Amino acid sequence: MHNKPIYLFSVSSHPDAVHVNSLDITFFQPEIDFSKYDYFIITSKQASKALQQYEKKEYIKKPALCISKQSAKSFEDLGGQVLAVGKGYGDTLVEKIKQYPKETKWLYLRAELVASDFVLTCKEEGYCIDEKIVYASKCSEALLHVTVPQEAILIFTSPSSVECFLSRHTLLHTHKIIVIGKTTAKALPKNCSYTLSDETTIESCMQIVGKSHEK
């Protein structure tokens, strides 16, 4: 096993890393007439959790276009059917949406703040997407007050986990930085060296740690 401590800034944990919950989540329950829509767009596990506040029979027959394997799994865990899966970031959903007729009615269950403007891109081209804000996230107290050793390996799993970290801490050249996807990488300071995981999963990030130790 490598001797550098691994710090995982994420809502989810991993047994081989020091887990620092990056966000505190608040759920909302806006009124939604599910019968108006053909499909959901789901870009996080939190969106599936937010759905649990509603009558299951009202929404469960609507398939969902999911941004990643994890968001797809979270919807399937509810008993939902996955329409298609993107490559982990919003821009990859545009081509998926364009495979359906413009009359298709989509409902994007989203966070208060989102990192990608894929919905705007689709709307400008005449696609029908409604948005409902079903949760908000803010920097967690745990992340704001964590002490990270100079030689640590840092894994960031969302743009907000990077932004929250940088609001109180500094990335050092002695840190090894691993990010879960391109949108997360964009949140890093310019000229900051990092490794991008092969897949948008925590497991994929942890495999990078294992490989670098083997060298």
pLDDT in tens, 15-59: 999 999 988 999 999 999 999 999 999 998 999 999 999 999 999
* Same domain flag for 122 and 185: no
* Same domain flag for 42 and 120: yes
* Same domain flag for 59 and 76: yes
Any idea what the CATH number is for the domain that residue 15 is in?
A: 3.40.50.10090
Strands ordered across the beta sheet of 39-42: 23-27, 128-139, 105-111, 39-42, 64-66, 82-85
Q: Which of 94, 114, 137 is the last residue of a domain?
A: 137
* Same domain flag for 46 and 95: yes
* Same domain flag for 110 and 206: no
* Same domain flag for 74 and 123: yes
DSSP letters, 38-85, are: SEEEE-SHHHHHHHTTS-HHHHTTS-EEESSHHHHHHHHHHT--EEEE
* Same domain flag for 43 and 85: yes
* Same domain flag for 103 and 75: yes
* Same domain flag for 129 and 201: no
Q: Which domain holds residue 79?
A: 26-137
* Same domain flag for 100 and 170: no
* Same domain flag for 56 and 121: yes
* Same domain flag for 150 and 183: yes
Positions of the chain with pLDDT under 50: 1, 215
Q: What pLDDT sits at residue 211?
A: 78
Residue 1 lies in a domain: no
Number of domains comprising the chain:
2
